[in-house]
Amino acid sequence: MSTPGIFFLVVGPSGAGKDTLIDGARAALAAGGRHVFAIRVITRPADAGGEQHTAVSEAQFTADEQAGRFLITWSAHGLRYGLPASLADELRAGRHVIANGSRAAIAELAARVPRLVVLHVAAERAALADRIRGRGREEGEQVARRLEREVNLTVPHGVQVIDILNNGTVGEGVEKLLSALDHAQRSLRVVRYPIDTWRERVAYLPPGSVVSAADYLGPGRISIEGDSRSITACVHVAETGPVLADDEIGLSVHAFESLALPQGTRVSIRRTPAPDSRQALREKIQGHPLSEAQYALLLEDILQGRYPDSEVAAFLVAATRSLSDSEVVALARVRASFMPRIDWNEPIVVDKHSMGGIPGSRITLIVIPVVAAHGLAIPKTSSRAITSAAGTADAMEAVARVDLTAAEVRETVRRTRGCIAWNGRLNHSALDDVMNHITRPLGIDSNRWSVASILSKKLSAGSTHVIVDLPWGPQAKLKTLAEASELARLFETVGDALGLVVQAHPTDGSAPIGRGIGPALEVQDVLQVLGNGLAAPADLRTKALTFAGHILAWDPALGSFQAGLARAEELLLSGAAHEKFEQIVDAQGRRPSPVRPAALAHPVHALGNGRIRHIDIARISEVARRAGAPADKAAGIHLAAGLGDEVAGGQVLYTIHASAASDLEAAAQLAEQASGVSQGHS
């Protein structure tokens, strides 16, 4: 059985040109056989001029109406109008009906036809008056009364309305009407299709789709548009169940949620044209530099899903191989434009970033309260761990809320001058989601690309001064001092071009910093440093004070690193930094019970005597993660011995903590295979 046709009701004020446009469409579509143009029955003489119609007397009209020969009738201007009941047969046969009708009849007609689309033709008042006079049926006051007559265009839910402004030539008006007919005939009803394609947006069309599914197959994308929302998706033909009607489009779970329109909403589709940015993509793949304008076009099209993953991957591979300093600046500016900008209205707003990769090293939780206690604004947003045992946000979450809104961050900074929040709700980058979906499985990484990403977020966060920690070492992200120094130069160069004051410092990344590895265990180290405890890890304290000293040197009242370091030590020793940390925790929302290191523990012992020559940071992190970190904030490792320490056989090297016995057993087995701690004789 064929899909029923659409009833197109052409409405609008007198003089809008409805009959003229319909005549033009009739001439254009006559040969196709898919469209039927209704001839109205009117109680008006056949020689009255104007549209072609069937003239009947009042008595005949009443008799036909009582006999059920009309699909619908209405009255206007002292006349009776009717559309033949036979039009319903045309609709059932799959043909589309176009009829000149009354705005007042829309609701009744919608209940009598399978699908009603209203084509609302309008024109400016002067054009309406000229056309009414040109018909020769009304003059003077009659024309004025016609123009004053207004009927509100109200339509039932589900009835599509397409507006056509007919102010131009007849040819232009007919073209608009034909375009509206085509648009409606190609519209489809959205259906949530029960297939989860994860991050891939997929649309499903039935083999007999009204839009000819074969026209949209291929490696490209289609645009799905409706109610001021649109997405792009690739197209599959659904030849098996769930069965789709000919005028339906099924959307995978992710596509349906992305479009965010109710099921049954009418949408239109079109093949996404080759993006304007395609030439830029090709140039980058060939190794050529791109301008900021080219990156703006290209990244927007990538973000909107207008390229298949294969082409995005090729672009990213090329970008990892060749990005000039000016391109990194351009990328940072473009990326920042995709995120909301926070304006703090302060001369100095500080931020800190670390390239990470080193277990422990939770200096941020010390630096922020030191700097805030001095009085500089330092709204710090941090990430959660991806491959490590803890990120800054994971550690802070052991004692306080970190999923703050922008308003909550502002309030926290207003009250305490600092915060340590998760960046997922603040300067989250949708572009990163798209890129990471491709880069992580392929292992694509680029320090230069990372500089653009990091500094774009600092720019959008309203920072004016940024300090960057660049750990380097055999197992760090940066392998050599030369590599770290070159990246420091790039950070500072790009920052300057963006109007930021950036200092980047290469640091020792050959071993863990501090004793704890895992959220609660790292916070334990932090609190020992802030509390000036005798057991506080000296390396963590020294590194935190060094970075705090560099930051405080930006205060014109201090002006040098030596003065900044002295001030940082003063704030730490006096307890002001510890007090500030507790204020920040309270402002963000203190946990009712802070997370403590898990009670289940397993010691890992040295196999013999000797000095610790190497700590395998990748292995140590893997053991901590196997114990449950960072998802289990109580899990992780506490190091009992550090690099260079002399240990005896049987001495505890580190203790594994876990909340579940199965996790503890799995981590202990991993440590037994290889502890990650290497010894050598003195």
Residues 398 and 514 grouped into a single domain = yes
Average pLDDT over residues 331-342: 90
Q: For residue 154, what pLDDT is reported?
A: 80
Tell me what pLDDT residue 397 has: 95
81: region left, alpha or beta (phi > 0 left; psi from -120 to 50 alpha) = beta
* 594-638 per-position pLDDT tens digit: 999 999 999 999 999 999 999 999 999 999 999 999 999 999 999
Q: What's the whole-number mean pLDDT along residues 53-79?
A: 94
Lowest mean pLDDT among 42-51, 550-559, 670-679: 42-51
Which domain, by its residues, includes 653? 600-680
Residue 631 within a domain: yes
The answer to whether residue 116 is domain-embedded is yes
Question: Could you say which of 271, 289, 312 is where a domain stops?
Answer: 271
* Confidence band, pLDDT 50/70/90 cuts, at residue 368: very high
Instruction: Name residues whose C-beta falls within 8 Å of residue 12's C-beta, 6 or more positions apart in sequence.
Output: 18, 103, 120, 121, 122, 123
Is the residue at 344 inside a domain? no
- Rounded to whole angstroms, the Cα distance separating 382 from 519 reads 14
Q: Residue 91: what residue type?
A: L
Residue 396 sits in the same domain as residue 482:
yes
For residue 498, pLDDT over 70 is answered with yes
Residues 54 and 202 placed together within one structural domain of the fold: no
Is the same domain home to 661 and 529?
Answer: no
Cα dist from 408 to 383, 384, 412, 416, whole Å: 17, 19, 6, 12
Question: How many domains does the chain fold into?
Answer: 4
Q: What is the CATH number of the domain that holds 450?
A: 3.40.1030.10
Give yes or no: residues 193 and 103 share one domain. no
Average pLDDT, the chain: 89
In this predicted structure, the answer to whether residue 136 has a pLDDT above a threshold of 70 is no
Q: What are phi and psi of 626, to 5 degrees?
A: -65, -30
Find the CATH number of the domain harbouring 641.
3.90.1170.30
Question: pLDDT per residue over 316-331, tens digit each?
Answer: 888 888 899 999 999 9
Residue 53 lies in a domain: yes
Residues 653 and 551 in one domain: no
**Same domain, yes or no: 359 and 215:** no
Task: Name the more confident of 138 and 458.
Answer: 458
Element (H, E) at 374: helix 364-374
More confidently predicted of 214 and 665: 665
Q: In this structure, what CATH number is given to the domain that contains residue 204?
A: 2.40.40.20
Residues across the chain: 682
Q: Which of residues 253, 271, 289 is at a domain's end?
A: 271
Mean pLDDT, residues 387-404 taken together: 92
What count of other Cβ atoms lies within 10 Å of the Cβ of residue 181? Answer: 21
615 in a domain, yes or no? Answer: yes
Given 271, 289, 310, the domain boundary residue is 271
Instruction: Clarify whether residues 457 and 566 are in a common domain.
Output: yes
For 519-561, the pLDDT digits (tens) are 999 999 999 999 999 999 999 999 999 999 999 999 999 999 9
| 608 within some domain | yes
pLDDT by residue (tens digit) across 78-130? 899 999 999 999 999 989 999 999 998 999 999 999 999 999 998 887 767 66
Contact 153, 120 (CB under 8 A): yes
pLDDT-based confidence at residue 444 (cuts at 50, 70, 90): low
At position 369, the amino acid (one-letter code) is: P
Q: Assess whether pLDDT exceeds 60 at residue 581.
A: yes
Judged on CB neighbours under 10 Å (0-12, 13-18, 19+), 387 is: exposed
Instruction: Give the Cα separation of 484 and 486 in Å (integer).
Output: 5
Query: Is there a single domain that holds both residue 380 and residue 504?
Result: yes
441 assigned to some structural domain: no
Q: Are residues 245 and 166 both part of a single domain?
A: no
Least confident of 314-318, 371-375, 578-582, 649-653: 314-318
pLDDT at position 1, please?
46
Q: How far apart are CA 99 and CA 91, in angstroms?
A: 13
Are residue 19 and residue 94 in the same domain, yes or no? Answer: yes
Domain check: are 394 and 538 in the same one? yes
* Mean pLDDT, rounded, for 479-504: 96
pTM over 0.85: no
**Domain CATH for 47:** 3.40.50
Is 106 part of any domain?
Answer: yes
